[in-house]
Amino acid sequence: MAQWRRVTRTLGAASAVGALGYTVDESNSHILSRSLRVFSTGIQVAVDFRQNLKPIERDAPEYKSALQAFNLRTASRLLDVCFQNGGIYTKFGQQLSTFNHALPREFTDTMAKLQDQAKSVSFEEAMATVEQELQRPWREVFPEINETPLAAASLAQVHEATDYKGRRVAVKVQYPHLARQMTADLVVMRWAFELTEWFFPNVQITWMFPEFQAALESELNFVNEKQNSRRIAELMRHNPNVHVPIVYDDISSKRLLVMEFIDAPKISNVEKLKEESIDPSEVARVLCEVFGEMVFCHGFVHCDPHPGNIFVRKNPNANATSKSQLVLLDHGLYRHLDEDFRKTYCDLWRAMILRDSDLLQDCGRRLNAGPFTTYLPLLFTYRPLGSNTPLASKMSLDEREKLTEELRKLQVTDVNGFIQHLPRDMLFVFRTNNMIRALNKDLGGSTRDRFASMAHFAVEGHALYHGATAQQHMSSWLVYYWDRVNMILHLRVFDWALRAIQLVRGEQVTDHRSG
């Protein structure tokens, strides 16, 4: 009874908050209807679970298919809520779609539909926001502007325009009322998280909420996005294969971002790339190199590299190592990796390159991986550390059977606990890796090149901190130098092995190294 009283109080409080918001701003916020949509969907999911899944024993033959069907129905309901409510709900759904290391595929595949289905607001509403931010009529700032948005994301929409200086610009306008809706929406979402854990004790998700809230608050302030774009542009200034559009300070603000307009196809538009004589597999190589450098060397990572946020154009730099150039957009969600984590992550890859089980265990200790340390290589190389097969090839049948038997013994709570206790930086790295892996596959890039690129920058990242320390003492420098040579030799052997596998498979062999 106490648990049901808790549910009743939560639903009642949610309705009260919603009713208050609806009364104060009926025409804009619609908080009541948004809140009720969330909780009515939650009730549907709970009833569905109790009627169709809970009666089935977990070891019953039909349980797996019943669970998959339940997950798909739940994901479809959640998709509808996110799409109907829009705003931060759309952002939340987009975040879920990238957590394929923690969520069933039924959820990630379904929520991925939100990447291209965000709702825009009317041109008049968008221009009202522009005038509020700049304190002058929008026509004075943008004599020419396309009333139809070029893109509509979860928090903003983008219009093509010519500004008062004659510059061709992209105008990113935050949706009105987001700030007002956010407080109530976050309260409702947190309650929904808590109720989910109450109905499904094995699903522990409230620990994710503070990260989501912090990221959202940062993204809603476009000043942060401007600063992120300038920092990554500075860090990557030596690399002519990547470009970050210029932001124009004189007509940008907290809810308005005006930047250099780039006319280029999305990275996922493979046919358009080919039409413009851009090799998709080369684009894949550059993509892996750029993000490998971000993670391992700079510790400053663009954490939302979905196709709409990366354009590709012919490289305007004649001396560049690639004929294609990436254009990075939407710099609202970045992660500044803790320096100790960056070092540990480099060491983790060093352990995988050298097959050093002692170093792997040490990395597991630093990452709070506990008994799951053994499985860390699986998350990045798809095989245990002691596998007899080279990276990028399939595990042997014996290895797969042994691994399957081990994984069967794991409980949902075990996996949840493992993910929950990892450093938050690792979760953002997982997210980014998964998105880059998907893009690499869509572009026709090889697993070999992606692994080799990550390993290459892991060696470089390892050198950045160990090399600086070792230079202080000759003996330490000699140890460091040998360690670096050893890693490079292993990396070359690793690269040759992957090349051999690619040749056997009849795939085109390309050189991933830039020098």
**Alpha carbons 439 and 120: distance in angstroms, whole number:** 26
**Alpha carbons 234 and 238: distance in angstroms, whole number:** 8
Residue type, 136: R
Structure tokens at 453: 């690129």
Say which of 163, 185, 304, 330 is annotated catalytic: 304
Q: What is the DSSP letter of 392?
A: T
CA distances from 253 to 134, 226, 369, 393 (A): 8, 9, 42, 50
Q: Which long-range CB contacts under 8 A does 199-202 form with residues at least 24 apart?
A: 199/42, 199/45, 199/46, 199/49, 200/49, 202/411, 202/412, 202/413, 202/416
**Residue given tokens 């829009």 in the structure block:** 86
**Alpha carbons 407 and 395: distance in angstroms, whole number:** 15
Contact 232, 245 (CB under 8 A): no
Contact 71, 109 (CB under 8 A): no
- DSSP labels, 426-487: HHHHHHHHHHHHHHHHHTT--HHHHHHHHHHHHHHHHHHHHHHHHTTSHHHHHHHHHHHHHH
- 3-class SS letters over 13-60: HHHHHHHHHHHHCCCCCCHHHHHHHHHHHHHHHHHHHHHHCCCCCCCC
Beta-bridge mates of residue 258: 171
Q: Is 304 designated active site?
A: yes
Residue type, 252: S
Catalytic annotation, residues: 304
